[in-house]
């Protein structure tokens, strides 16, 4: 995936267009910008959720060790951790998630998600876009021809207000060997890519360099350069009708608005938060990223992807707990994965609720798949897309509800199976966007933004 703004060379070989874009790029460069990709946007209906915080649990958390325990199954299936009772009668959760227990009567669990992609990159793309990849292949490569990320769709159809990015992603670009597809705008054009922030919010000097003006450029001086750019625009006649030139004006306007706005910059200034709040989220990269996500939706960002970790697994990585290389899953779960989840997830939900944001913010906690029912010979669980669990809260979601059910071993859905595209349709619906709205790909073919169906049982 490209992480830098597209340069003029990628915008085509038309000499008149290139000349004009060169002028634009030169003027924008004086202000600290590059020319972005192209695309269009449109408005949408109002939904119950103003924003989504999408907590992507890279690596695939096990349902048996989190929110779909099987205490009566054989030992090789149930595992070593014990269930504890939660606030939702009849729905125990893992003993290492005690801070989530009081929250279970305020959230919804989906215990019947399933698909067939067993590799991280193909399953990751599916989970980040709601579109099944062309094949279940670990060699699936990131491409601008694949389907866009959820947040890019939102930016295309229902963008945030002026001066605020619609879609933000932090703090990692996830990969398994190669970069996982589904993290950017793809064929919609780079203008709909997320505001990606790859610095660690747990560092003391955390800030947003992407929106920091050079010390020699004041907002007034930037405004003069903006006016100069408009003069260049007015003198370049006859180009605006070209398809490749569409959207540049609006993207530059967004860039100028964001760089002169304190709202977005302040959202990334964690020094404004009380130490007790920062400590509550956990002094980890993931914990502080969730705090940034809350601050972003507070200023009007519509969709925030927070990736649990850069890598799929390991002793301090993501949820890929095979037990490979003499690293059994239980110590990693006990010392790293579950304590971090137990601290950060309920803190985020509580913070949103206390600030009056939870009713309008949909929080989605989900990985690309689950883990196998049987513990393998290396004391771990393998990839298992056949049945896994998601947790949703706020933003129009039912409280104290379990949708679907897995069978007695957690291997397959026993009731109300659903797929990632059904989850995507539900998210779009709650954001006030018709899941059957269409976008056009690079070949101008119409594609619905979600091939799934809204899961009515999740809605308030």
C-alpha distances in Å from residue 362, one per residue of 47, 171, 263, 294: 11, 20, 21, 11
What is the pLDDT at residue 149?
Answer: 98
Mean of pLDDT values over 337-353 = 98
Mean pLDDT along residues 404-420: 98
Q: Please give the average per-residue pLDDT across 319-323, as a whole number.
A: 93
Of the candidates 391, 410, 413, which has an alpha carbon nearest to the alpha carbon of residue 400? Answer: 391
Does residue 287 register a pLDDT over 60? Answer: yes
- Whether residue 26 is predicted with pLDDT greater than 50 in this model: the reply is no
| Cα–Cα distance measured from residue 366 to residue 111, given in angstroms and rounded to the nearest whole number | 11
In this predicted structure, the answer to whether residue 21 has a pLDDT above a threshold of 50 is no
Mean pLDDT on 67-73: 97
Instruction: Tell me the sheet residues that pair with 440.
Output: 446
Whole-angstrom distance, CA of residue 123 vs CA of residue 386: 11
Question: Model confidence at 327, in pLDDT bands (50, 70, 90)?
Answer: confident
362 or 212, which is more confident: 362
pLDDT surpassing 70 at residue 403: yes
CA of residue 65 relative to chain centroid, distance = 23
What value does the mean pLDDT take over residues 409-424? 98
Task: Give the lowest-confidence range in 20-24, 88-92, 318-322, 329-333.
Answer: 20-24
Three-state secondary structure readout of 12-37: CCCHHHHHHHHHHHHHHHHCCCCCCC
Q: What is the chain's length?
A: 460
- Whether 53 shows a pLDDT value over 60: the answer reads yes
The residue ranges of every structural domain in the chain are: 10-39+215-267, 43-208+270-458
What's the mean pLDDT when you consider all of the chain?
A: 85
Does the structure show a pLDDT above 90 at 440? yes
Can you tell me the distance from the alpha carbon of 286 to that of 280, in angstroms, rounded to the nearest whole number?
12
Q: How confident is the model at residue 31 (pLDDT cuts 50, 70, 90)?
A: very low
**Region 323-332: what's the mean pLDDT?**
88
Helices and strands (DSSP H and E) totals, the chain: 12, 18
Confidence bin at 255 (pLDDT 50/70/90): low
- Radius of gyration of the chain from Cα atoms? 22
Q: What is the pLDDT of residue 252?
A: 58
CA distances for 222 relative to 32, 199, 235, 298, angstroms? 10, 26, 20, 27
Q: 301's torsion region: left (phi>0), alpha (psi -120 to 50) or beta?
A: beta
Residue 8 has pLDDT above 50, yes or no: no
pLDDT at residue number 138 = 77
Per-residue pLDDT at 246: 45
Residue 222 pLDDT level (bands cut at 50, 70, 90): low
Task: Return the pLDDT at 4.
Answer: 34
Tell me what pLDDT residue 270 has. Answer: 96
8-17 per-residue burial string, b: 16 or more CB within 10 A, e: under 16: beebeeeeeb
For 216, other C-beta atoms within 10 Å of its C-beta total: 6
CA–CA gap between residue 344 and residue 335 (Å, rounded): 14
The arrangement of secondary structure in 43-208+270-458, i.e. its CATH architecture, is 3-Layer(aba) Sandwich (3.40)
Q: What is the pLDDT of residues 109-142, one digit of tens each?
A: 999 999 999 999 999 999 999 999 988 987 888 8
Question: Where does the pLDDT of residue 226 fall: very low under 50, low under 70, confident under 90, or very high at 90 and above?
Answer: low
Name residue, tokens 């309920």: 346
* pLDDT band (50, 70, 90) for residue 370: very high
- The pLDDT tens digits for 80-117 are 999 999 999 999 999 999 999 999 999 999 999 999 99
pLDDT for the residue 141 = 86
Angle at 390 between CA 389 and CA 391, to 5 degrees: 130
| Percent share of the chain, pLDDT over 70 | 78
Nearest to 281 by CA among 351, 336, 364: 351
- pLDDT grade, residue 205 (50/70/90)? confident
pLDDT band at 240; cut points 50, 70, 90 = very low
């Amino acid at each position: 995936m490209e992480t830098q703004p597209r340069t003029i060379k990628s915008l085509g070989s038309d000499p008149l267009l290139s000349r004009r874009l060169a002028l634009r790029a030169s003027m924008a460069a004086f202000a600290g910008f590059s020319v972005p990709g192209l695309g269009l946007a449109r408005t949408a209906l109002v939904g119950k959720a103003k924003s989504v915080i999408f907590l992507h649990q890279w690596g695939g958390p096990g349902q048996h060790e989190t929110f779909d325990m099987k205490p009566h199954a054989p030992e090789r299936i149930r595992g070593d951790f014990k269930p504890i009772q939660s606030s939702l009668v009849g729905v125990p959760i893992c003993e290492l998630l005690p801070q989530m227990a009081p929250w279970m009567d305020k959230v919804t669990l989906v215990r019947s998600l399933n698909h067939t992609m067993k590799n991280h990159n193909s399953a990751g793309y599916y989970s980040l876009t709601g579109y099944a990849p062309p094949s279940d292949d670990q060699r699936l490569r990131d491409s601008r021809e694949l389907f866009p990320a959820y947040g890019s769709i939102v930016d295309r159809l229902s963008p945030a207000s002026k001066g605020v990015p619609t879609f933000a992603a932090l703090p990692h670009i996830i990969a398994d060997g190669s970069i996982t597809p589904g993290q950017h705008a793809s064929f919609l054009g780079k203008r709909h890519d997320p505001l990606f922030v790859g610095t660690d919010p747990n560092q003391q000097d955390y800030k947003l360099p992407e929106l920091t003006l050079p010390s020699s450029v004041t907002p007034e001086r930037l405004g003069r350069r903006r006016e100069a750019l408009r003069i260049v625009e007015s003198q370049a006649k006859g180009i605006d009708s070209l398809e490749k030139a569409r959207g540049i004006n609006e993207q530059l306007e967004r860039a100028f608005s964001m760089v002169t706005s304190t709202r977005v910059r302040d959202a990334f200034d964690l020094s404004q938060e009380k130490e007790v709040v920062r400590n509550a989220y956990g002094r980890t990269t993931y914990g502080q990223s969730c705090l940034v996500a809350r601050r972003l939706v507070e200023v009007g960002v519509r969709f925030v992807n927070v990736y649990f970790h850069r890598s799929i697994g390991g002793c301090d990585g993501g949820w890929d707990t095979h037990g490979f290389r003499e690293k059994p899953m239980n110590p990693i779960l006990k010392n790293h994965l579950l304590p971090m989840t137990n601290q950060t997830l309920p803190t985020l939900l509580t913070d949103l609720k206390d600030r009056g944001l939870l009713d309008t913010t949909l929080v989605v906690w989900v990985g690309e798949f689950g883990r196998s029912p049987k513990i393998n010979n290396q004391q771990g669980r393998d990839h298992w897309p056949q049945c896994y669990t998601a947790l949703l809260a706020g933003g129009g979601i039912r409280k104290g509800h379990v949708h679907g059910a897995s069978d007695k071993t957690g291997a397959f859905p026993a009731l109300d199976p659903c797929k990632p595209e059904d989850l995507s349709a539900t998210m779009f619906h709650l954001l006030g966007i018709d899941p059957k709205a269409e976008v056009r790909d690079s070949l101008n073919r119409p594609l619905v933004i979600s091939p799934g169906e809204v899961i009515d049982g999740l809605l308030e």
